Each structure stands twice: as structure tokens, then as C-alpha cells.
Structure 1
């Protein structure tokens, strides 16, 4: 009993200790900008330790399976030959035939083949050389124990870095990072001194393993019999089931008004598994609803529509002739409003955007729909409320949508999407190609067109110069063009060409990334001004999301406020628009400036229309926000509704009461949009 229990106690105790240390470190991290009460601390550490204990039981399953199958009986005739034949058949199947594992991608079959080869080799060695069985088993035992210690330590460092970046435990972003391993591993290699870190991690893990196992060299002298293994296995299975139940119960205690408390008491691996299994959420199943007819009635009142379950088109008729100007939309990576001088920044990080803001139509109270690039791309392309779970860009069946690109293409525009990285990332190629865009990504660049690149793609200067050349070719044709450019340089590891700005390119700082992107935008405008197509072109600059989304509240408003500028000298007069605006309103407002008449399926509105009612739609993966009249309604799973009152600027205080009229508007927006998505009402006929 003790032999099988000893490694579990060691692994579990170590996991709980490092989990406790991690919570303390995260608690005092600069990102954790909050005050905590005694009850908060009690929940963070008591529930947190219980969560870690539950996870330690579950992750030990692989070690347990290894231990209970250690026996000498399998080397007795004729069983030893049967096992040997089974190994050979399995190896032949894996290496000579297409297997079921091949359907899961190139990495999975390689892992399976390697594992089987190691197990087969180990079995043959133990079969042929009985004298070394005890030593060999101890070496394997030592290695597996070391692997557990190493992975636990590695996870702690990963969680720490993830927290510093996003202010939360693992979520959908971490799942994306697992999927897009090339970009993510490259980003890590370029952002951190990975070789020294890993070397230190390996050395520390070896030393910890030696400390735990220094008195275990005789562990395999007397192997437990079948009865002992059976009893222990029954006990472990009961503990395993109990751990799952414990973790599910503890999730119900993540109910604090302070988001940091909920995150700190949670376990990162549990959060990762939840995010992996819940990439999309059914609004009707998890969120508060209204009778569908009432929801449509409210939507029609807000947006002056005539929508119903069967019809979601609104006729927009302009009285002036349509202007067929070129349009260049630039979505800027992680450009928080707080980086601009207009919003109080004194570091002079964005002199070019500050200049454009004075010379164009500047939106001073705009909010992003989410905190990922795909959310920003979704909002300016589809102009609809954010859906719970993953962005539509990441989902299936997202082609032939009613989009900004569709409207331009219907008017004979050349429609293009520009991205400095490889467009397979975040499913961008599939989404934009499926919606009629021509893709110009890193694979379209010639060698002499790249002066600098990192793992995320070519630098913003190179992307803008590539776009300039493409626009030059476009202008040779009679039809106007619409180009949507996504920048990448203001992203960790924040590397860029040297000698461009007054912040060293070796600093790898957010400030450097912001200032270089701004510099590249300035150069882009300078080059565009030299082109004959410049006077006939409207430029739109908008952030995809903010640089950080961490805050005490689930939806901290200051982490969603973004800059947006419509710039076209001689056409768009300089003006500050100070009313509340959602990111989804930007392109419909541009269409209003161009006097487009069209049948709209957008929730986004022309903010200069007399019927415009200021509101903003803001979301995380599970929380759906609706901001209006200085009140933020937050819809959560389990039909939960909360309200925060905006006291000063973007500061919020939770309200004890709910403004039912605004809450109903919030529900109506998200519920009807989900209905249209589920019933393919936001798609257009295939052309």
C-alpha cells in the first residue's frame, strides 16, 4: 500500500506547494490591481488549495497506470511471447499503415509512435536481460517522476507569464496558443531567454527529483501483488471521481464581484480544459432570454428597423449620390486609447496618430467588442454584437456572410485583406477568402520586400509598403478598391527594425512596439500622399482591441476603450465625435459618409443618423456587456444579470439594482443576433 501511495503523496504535495507559491506571486503581481478583504484571501487560498489537490489526483493517473502494470509475471511463458508479438504487430500497424491517429495531425502520430517504440524497447530489454530489471525500472521511475516535476514547474512559469500578459488564468487564448504552436513557440523564443530558462528549469527539476527519491533506490525490490494493486486501484478510482466532483463544486464558488478573486482561487489547468471544451456557447441555453417577439420589438425600437424572425434587412436610403472613393481600413494591433495624447498620455508614443486625430474625424469614446484580434476583425467586418465563446472568425460555416467586404464587392470594388503574418493563423485566410476577399499575407512577399520580420510576420513598414504597391496596381483599373490591413508589430516580442524610433529595438517593450507601429503609420501616409489615388481615398484607423484586458471587474471599461479615426483631407472635415460609440458602428458610419444606399443586416449604425442611440457592446468569452447611459449590463451563463454604474470616466461600481429597460435591450441585442446566426440569416446567397 505504502509503495503505491508514496509517489502520489510526493507529487501531490509538490503540486500543492508550487500552486500556493504561484498564488502568492500572482496576488502581488503589478497586474493584480485590486484590494482584497479577509474573506477574499480566505477564498483564494482555501478554495485554491482544494482545487490544486483535486487536480493533483487527476494528473497522477498516468503515473498510476505505469505503476500498477509493473510485474514479473508477464515475462513467464507463453505470455512473454504473446506480449512481444502484440508489440511487433502494433509497431507494424503504426509505421506501415494509415492509422486512426493520423486524423489528428502530424504531431499526434509521431508522439504515439515514439511512445510505443520506447515501451517495446523497454519490454525487450527487460525480457532479454533479467538482471537489470530492478535498475531499469528505477531509471524509468526516476525519469517519469522528473517529468512530472518538470511539467509542474513549466506550468507554473507559463501561468505566471500568461497572467502578466492577460491578467487571468488560462482561457481560450491559451487554447489558441496550443493550436498555433509555430507562432507561439516562435514568440516565446523571441520574447524570453528561453535556453537559460529551460536549462535552469531542468537543473532545478532534477535536483527536486533527487531530493524526493534519494531514499527510493530499493523501491522495486518487492513488487505489490495483484490483490494489493486491485485494492489500491479501487481507492484511487474513488479519489479520482471525487476530485472531479470537488472541482465542479468549487467552480460554483467563483462568484466574487472581484474578478481577480475568482481567477486566483481557480486552477489554471481546469480553466484550460473548460476553455478547450467550450469554444462556443449556446445563448438560448446559458443566458437570460426574452420572448422572441418582445426581443425583436426592442431591437426595432433601438435601431429603427422592421426586423422579425423571418426578416432582418433594413433599407438604408441616402438622398445624395453615392461616392465611389477608395477605402483603406487599418486595424491596429493592441492600440489602447491610453497610448494617445488625447487620452492623457505624456510619453509622445503616437505623434502620427495624434496628428491624424486632429486632421480627421476622431471618435473619442469608442469601445472594442472584445480583447482578441479576431474580435476586432469580426466587429469591423460583420458589424454585429460579439457572440459568446469564440469569435465567428474561428468557427465553421462563416463564409458568405453579410459583411463590409460584401457591400464593397457588390459595388465593383477590388476587395483585399492584408496581413503581415501567415493568414492561416486564427483562421483568417479561411474567413476572409470565404467572404470574397483576396488575401495578401506573408506568403505573398518576395525576399527583397522583407527588411525585417519576427515570428508574427513582416514589420508594419514592410506590410504598408506592400499594400502601397498593390494599391498602385489597383489604381490602374477603373474600379475603386477596398483594402483591409492588419498590423502586427505592436505585439510581444515587440521587435522592430533598428534606428526608426528613439526607443531601442532591443528593449522589447510595449512602448517601443506602440511607437514603431505609429511610426510605420506615419510613413504609410507620407507614401500614400505621393500617389495619384490619395485624393480619392478614405483612410480608417482603428484598434483591434486594447493592450490589456485585466481588471478587477469582469469587463473593465478602461481596458476596452480604443481610438478610431476616419481621415481624408478635403473630404472628411476635422472633428471630434464625443458620443458613446461601439466598434461595430465604425464602418456603417463610413458608409453614411460615402452616401451608400443598401439593404443592411448590420447591428452597427451610422452615428450621424438622427435615430442613433449611443450604446456599446463589449464582451469576454462568456460575459456579454451592454453599455448605455453610464450603466453597464453584464450577461453571464446560468441566466445571470449584473449591473455596474459608471461613476467617473471608466470607473465602475456594482449596482444592487438592475435597470430592467437597459437589461432587456442588452438581452434583445445578443438574443436576436444569436437567432439570426443559428438560422443563417446573416449569410447572403452564394455568388
Structure 2
């Protein structure tokens, strides 16, 4: 029988390290509970289940983290135990691992502050784009103090290990071959068990999303997201036969203006207006970073942080009940360029084989428009340059030397230092990017080119910094200040544009990419997908407030209808102004896929599960309902067909 007292053996440091990790991880979990005091379920059974589920996933995490150390202990011969090499290896790698884990715990706190979730696919993306993320952390938090605190805590924990004689015991204890192989086998068995049979979604046991998130282990969640960042619909979600799915969607997209022309599994069609127009109005399209509907006075905000946009709502086509398709900028870009429901996993903007797709740019190009994409940061971030460049746009960005793929045949123009008055981690301020767009628009007008200029803003993003003296809220102090500055920048854009000779023939479209927050206690926080949208500078008789429930994907089909254009379409969106428009919104996370119709909400999950709810708009709560089979099949159809078309390269 194997006898091993890990606290006083060769494995003493490893034992102390594991116990330390489990304790600190549980303290962090309790901290999140206190943080979300009013949102979590404090029922004793729920509390205990959250803590024990978390402990279970922490055990899996520490088994993986410790595996390299166990291999070292197994391979190191007894005669070298306590040697200089042994001491250097154990001191150095123990200190390094503790430092990394303490830093990770701090990172989890900042991530929770921003997203109210454990590490997920966003954290995976952030690991790729280190320049923007590190700069954002430097500008948002006192980094020297943070790193210093991590270092002090690391030294404190190592001192505790030392006082408990962990290092002394490790350097003065031998381990038999049988002991070493037994310990190795135990850790390998635990790692294989978690790697083969345990999935991160199994921590999502509670109807309260916060309890489920707190049940997770951040590191385990990170690697689960890394592994599942791209998900095939048929492998993870409930499906129906493709014939049926495409039949349902074609029926939903049918109307008197539509003629389907694609063969097989296709939604390609010709849209024909009864009185077609050849008029070519310029279009300035502004995708505003993190502009929640709740920021506008129009939707009940009392802080007066969007006075200009609130005034625009009275003299534009204003969408009262429009919803974002996702929670990331790339989801908003996907929705407004492809007019497609959110496919599971990564956004199409970030996927391979996303060039030469049929986008709204394709419609403009077919009418000889000059199409440009303006971004105040480095368009390498989130694969924006590759996506927009590969789909017909000329790029204007603040590049730092990254280049487009050789496969992408497009022009790219850097925004020069002389054109910049203010810049932070994410890019130049909104005024600067608007000024650049105005300058390019002047050249386009001079060259007699109708233009479609797509502008992505950045100022409404942590660290919430912007030029001083523009508004009455100091830079870098709050999200509200960033929103108010963006509103100010939009006002300045319209003031300057109104003096241009091309203004009268230009339509401005403004919409949010997503909300400032998407987290809530339910598995989908519906209210945090509600965003504003405006179509500005059409003839006055067009101005109205649209109260129909709709989606980002409906914006362009609506505008093309107003223009009375005939065009080809692979879009899932429809003209909201059509009297027969069927109200609905499509939204999701990278794993949850949602169809909402009025107050009814169907959610598809990646374990081939589904849930049906009634949404109470007053308190933003979801109440479970029995599954409606017809509603379920329609939900499946939207997402299954969208995924099928992209995966099989039928959107090219």
C-alpha cells in the first residue's frame, strides 16, 4: 500500500501550491458572489452547489497546471534531489507559476468588471491582439501598482510556503519509483478525465447566469473557449432537414418584390422595386462603439449624455425597437455588411475564407459607388482589414506596420500623425476619424464619384479617454463621459458636413455595433441587445419613428427600399417599412442563438438544447414556457441556413 504524506514529502511544494490555488480560487469565487450581491441566488443549496461545482473545475484546472511539475518530480533522479539544479528549477518555476496565477486572478477581476463573466472567447481574442489590450490596461489601470501588487503577493505566498517548510521538505525527501509513478498516474488520470469527459458548459447548471458563471474556473473556461472558438452548427445544435429549413426561410423572405434565382440550397434572389430609381445618394454609415439604447433620453435616460442624438431622433427615420445581433464589434460588422444572423463560434469577420462574399458593398459596387472603410485604430485588430479589404472596401486606418494578405487586392491608406489630435489604446478620437472621412468625401465629390463611406468609432471604449475641454465630463472618468463625447463628435460631424457641397445628396446612417454590456442573470439579457439606429437627411416626409421589432440585419434592406433600388440579395434582412414585415429579432452570444418575436424568446444552446421563454420588458426577466414546435423550427431554420450558406461557400 502506498504511504505518502504530501505535506512533508518530496511533493511538499506541489501540495502547498495546489492547496493555495484551491483556496485563493474559492476566495475569488466568493468575491464575485459579493460583487453581484443583488443578482446571484443566495439560496443555501444554490450557494453550496456554486462553490462545490467551482471546486470541482478548479481541481481539473490545477491538475493540468501541475502536470509539468509532476513530470519533473517523476523524472528527477533521487541522487540529484536537493542539488543546485533541483533548487533552481523548483524555486524558479514555482515562483513563476504563482506569479502568473496571481496575475491571472487580477485579470479575472478586471475581466469581470468589464463583461460580468469568467474568461471566454473575448479573452482568447485579447491574447492575440496584445498591443491594443496592453495599451488599454496601461491607460485604464495603474499598471506599475498592479504589477507591484502581484509581485508582493507572489513573494508573500512563497514566504508562506517557506514557513511551512515546503521547500525544505521537498529538497530533503526522496521518493521511490513506485511513489513517483503513482503520483504521475493519478495526475494523468485526472487530466485525462477532465480532458475527455468534462466540458465547460457543464458548469452552467443554474437558471441564474451569475451562479453558473461563478461556478466556472477562469483558466479552464479560457482554454475551453480557445478549443471551441469555431463551432459547426450541425455538430452542436438541434437541426432539421435542410429542405425544411430552407423552405421555412424562403417563405419568411418572400414578398411581391422578391424573385428567388438561386438553385438548390440558396436564398439568392432579385429584389425589384415597382418604380425603380437610378438615383445615387451618397451614404455615410457610422457604426458607433457600444452605444446602448439605454444611454438615450429617448429611451428613458435622465443624464442628458446624448443631446444631439436625441435631437436626431426627432428628425430622422428612428428605429425604436431594434436589436443588435451580438455582443462584439465584429458581430455588429457581420450583421450590417452581410445582413446575416449570428453564426455560432467566431464571427464571420474573423474566420478564414471570408473574402469575396456578397455584402452590402457588393450592392453599392454594382451601382459604381466608391466604397471605403475608416477605422481609427490598427485594422489588423479583429481581422477588420482582411475582412473589409477582401470584400471590396478601400481601407483607411491607423496601421502600425501590419499588412494585408497577398490574396487581398485593395488599397490601404494610413491615417497620418498630422491628422491626429488625440489617440488612446484603441485609436484616434471620433472627431479625428470623422475629419478624415470628410476629407476623403471631398475628394470623392471632386472626382464625381458617389460614395459609401463606412466609419467605425472607438472613443466609447475603456479607458474612456478623449480630448479635454470638449464636454463637461473629465476625460477618462466614466463611460458616460465617453458616450457624451461621441455624441459631441457626431454633432461636429454634421455641423461640418452641412457646409459641404455634397451634403444635400448624402444620407447618414447611424447605428450601434452592440450594447455597452450584455450580461445579466438570465442566459440572454434581452434589454442589453436594444440599440438605437437612425437614417438621417432624407426628405422630411420620410422622417418617422419605427416601432416595429427588428434587427441590425434589416437596416440595409430598408434603406435600399427607400432608394427604390433593384438589386441582387443574399441577405436575411427585410424591409421594415413593408406593411407585411413580420416583426422579429435575431441575437446571440458565440454559443447561444436566439429568435425573439414580440415577447416570445427561443434560445438554442450548443448542447443541442433549447429553451422557450416569455420576456417581461418591464423588469427584463425571462419566464419559462413549454416549447412551441413551430417557433423552434423557425429558430433552427434561421441559424442552420445561415451557417450552411457560409460553411459551403454559397455566400461568395
**Which residues of 2 match residues 159-558 of structure 1 at below 5 A?**
159-214=108-163, 215=165, 216-217=167-168, 219-224=170-175, 226-244=177-195, 247-248=198-199, 251-252=201-202, 254-304=204-254, 306=260, 309-320=264-275, 321-443=277-399, 444-507=414-477, 509-558=478-527
| Per-residue CA distance 1:401-454 (angstroms, 9 max, x = gap) | 111111101100000000000001000000001100000001312221111101
Q: Contact (CA 8 Å) 1:361, 1:572: kept in 2 or not? A: no
Match of 1:111 in 2: none
Q: Contact (CA 8 Å) 1:367, 1:582: kept in 2 or not? A: yes
Q: Contact (CA 8 Å) 1:387, 1:674: kept in 2 or not? A: yes
Distance 1:600 1:65, change over 3 A: same
Q: Which ranges in structure 2 are unaligned for 5 or more consecutive residues?
A: 400-413
Counterparts of 1:229 and 1:313, CA distance in 2: 64
| Per-residue CA distance 1:487-538 (angstroms, 9 max, x = gap) | 001001111111111001142x111111111111111111100100000000
Q: Contact (CA 8 Å) 2:317, 2:543: kept in 1 or not? A: yes
Q: Contact (CA 8 Å) 2:357, 2:651: kept in 1 or not? A: yes
**Under a length normalisation based on structure 2, what TM-score does the superposition of the two structures give?**
0.92
Q: Aligned-pair distance for 1:629?
A: 3.0
Match of 1:584 in 2: 553
Match of 1:129 in 2: none
Q: Contact (CA 8 Å) 2:71, 2:184: kept in 1 or not? A: no
- The two structures, once aligned, show a CA RMSD in angstroms of 2.0
Q: In the comparison of the two structures, how many residue pairs are matched?
A: 624
Counterparts of 1:26 and 1:606, CA distance in 2: 44
Q: Contact (CA 8 Å) 1:58, 1:243: kept in 2 or not? A: no
Counterparts of 2:287 and 2:38, CA distance in 1: 29
Q: Contact (CA 8 Å) 2:527, 2:617: kept in 1 or not? A: no
Q: Contact (CA 8 Å) 1:555, 1:618: kept in 2 or not? A: no
Q: Contact (CA 8 Å) 1:31, 1:167: kept in 2 or not? A: no
Counterparts of 1:572 and 1:137, CA distance in 2: 81
Please state whether the residue corresponding to 1:500 is helix, strand or coil.
Answer: coil
Match of 1:643 in 2: 612
Counterparts of 1:491 and 1:327, CA distance in 2: 25
Distance 1:219 1:600, change over 3 A: closer
Tell me if 1:656 matches 2:625.
yes
Match of 1:102 in 2: none
Distance 1:333 1:312, change over 3 A: same
Match of 2:94 in 1: 145
Counterparts of 1:241 and 1:300, CA distance in 2: 46
Match of 2:402 in 1: none
Q: Aligned-pair distance for 1:382?
A: 0.3
Q: Aligned-pair distance for 1:292?
A: 2.0
Q: Contact (CA 8 Å) 1:546, 1:561: kept in 2 or not? A: yes
Counterparts of 2:635 and 2:594, CA distance in 1: 7
Counterparts of 1:301 and 1:413, CA distance in 2: 32
Please state whether the residue corresponding to 1:150 is helix, strand or coil.
Answer: helix
Counterparts of 1:339 and 1:353, CA distance in 2: 10
Q: Contact (CA 8 Å) 1:539, 1:567: kept in 2 or not? A: yes
Tell me if 1:668 matches 2:637.
yes
Please state whether the residue corresponding to 1:475 is helix, strand or coil.
Answer: helix
Q: Which ranges in structure 1 are unaligned for 5 or more consecutive residues?
A: 75-125, 127-132
Q: Aligned-pair distance for 1:164?
A: 1.3
Match of 2:406 in 1: none
Counterparts of 2:487 and 2:561, CA distance in 1: 28
- Residue in structure 2 matching 1:70, options 68, 76, 84: 76
Distance 1:624 1:200, change over 3 A: same
Q: Aligned-pair distance for 1:61?
A: 1.2
Q: Aligned-pair distance for 1:65?
A: 2.6
Q: Aligned-pair distance for 1:167?
A: 1.2
Larger radius of gyration, structure 1 or 2? Answer: 1
Q: Contact (CA 8 Å) 2:558, 2:576: kept in 1 or not? A: yes
Q: Contact (CA 8 Å) 2:363, 2:568: kept in 1 or not? A: no
**Under a length normalisation based on structure 1, what TM-score does the superposition of the two structures give?**
0.87
Q: Contact (CA 8 Å) 2:284, 2:455: kept in 1 or not? A: yes
Q: Aligned-pair distance for 1:274?
A: 1.2
Moved more, 523-532 or 646-655: 646-655
Q: Aligned-pair distance for 1:271?
A: 1.1
Match of 2:65 in 1: 59
Counterparts of 1:608 and 1:34, CA distance in 2: 41
Distance 1:196 1:252, change over 3 A: closer
| Per-residue CA distance 1:277-328 (angstroms, 9 max, x = gap) | 1111111122112222222221122121647634422221112323200001
Q: Aligned-pair distance for 1:39?
A: 2.7
Counterparts of 2:246 and 2:13, CA distance in 1: 60
Counterparts of 1:465 and 1:420, CA distance in 2: 11
**Which residues of 2 match residues 119-158 of structure 1 at below 5 A?**
134-135=83-84, 137-158=86-107
Counterparts of 2:67 and 2:37, CA distance in 1: 34
Please state whether the residue corresponding to 2:433 is helix, strand or coil.
Answer: helix
Distance 1:6 1:247, change over 3 A: farther
Q: Aligned-pair distance for 1:209?
A: 0.3
| Per-residue CA distance 1:555-580 (angstroms, 9 max, x = gap) | 11111000000001535633110110
Q: Contact (CA 8 Å) 2:203, 2:215: kept in 1 or not? A: no
Distance 1:235 1:42, change over 3 A: closer
Q: Aligned-pair distance for 1:624?
A: 0.3
Q: Contact (CA 8 Å) 2:10, 2:170: kept in 1 or not? A: no
Please state whether the residue corresponding to 1:60 is helix, strand or coil.
Answer: helix
